[in-house]
Homo-oligomer: A and B are copies of this chain.
Amino acid sequence: MADPKWLSKNEIEAWRPLAALALLLPSRLEEPLQSHGLTFFEYSVLVVLADATDRTAPMSELAHLAGGSLSRTSHSARRLEERGLLQRSRCPTDGRVTLVTLTGDGHERLVAAAPSHVESVRHSIFDALTPDEAAELGRHVTAILTHIAPTGPWASEADRAS
């Protein structure tokens, strides 16, 4: 129990459900978007673009904000472009970067898919918790994120300033 090589009983009781959730949550997130022809990651990409100024972002920033690798985002962006939901273009000031822009169709698709996604999130997460519990959960998860990936978009301004 005191052996740091193993998890304590309390840690196991916290870890098991978290592992189960990590295995289950992805499918729960894909499910409501599936009927709209979107992956959760594709949905995340569209959300990031919709929030960006001019609905445009460089590929790298898009990857960073959407939480995917550059390769994954590039593949995804190519497929979304083939379906007309976004558009890629060369950055005029830096020939290396690809600018990704949300199209009108892309925005429509996002607006169409959002309600069922929100409904699913609400039903999956918040129906099971009180507001206080949800806030606690958010704080703890943020602490984990900050710890394992300090450079993520959830980083505080102070961290990013470095």
Contacts and interface: CB of A to CB of B under 8 A. Distances in A.
Interface of A: 4-7, 10-11, 13-26, 28-29, 41, 44, 67-68, 115, 118-119, 121-129, 131, 133-138, 140-149, 152-154
Given A14-B125, A118-B7, A24 B136 contact: no
Contact of A129 (B4, B22, B144): B144
Contacts of A136: 136, 140
Contacts of A127: 147
Contacts of A7: 118, 121-122, 126
Contact of A135 (B13, B24, B41, B147): B13
Contacts of A28: 148
A20 B147 contact: no
Given A10-B134, A126-B11, A137-B14, A148 B24 contact: yes
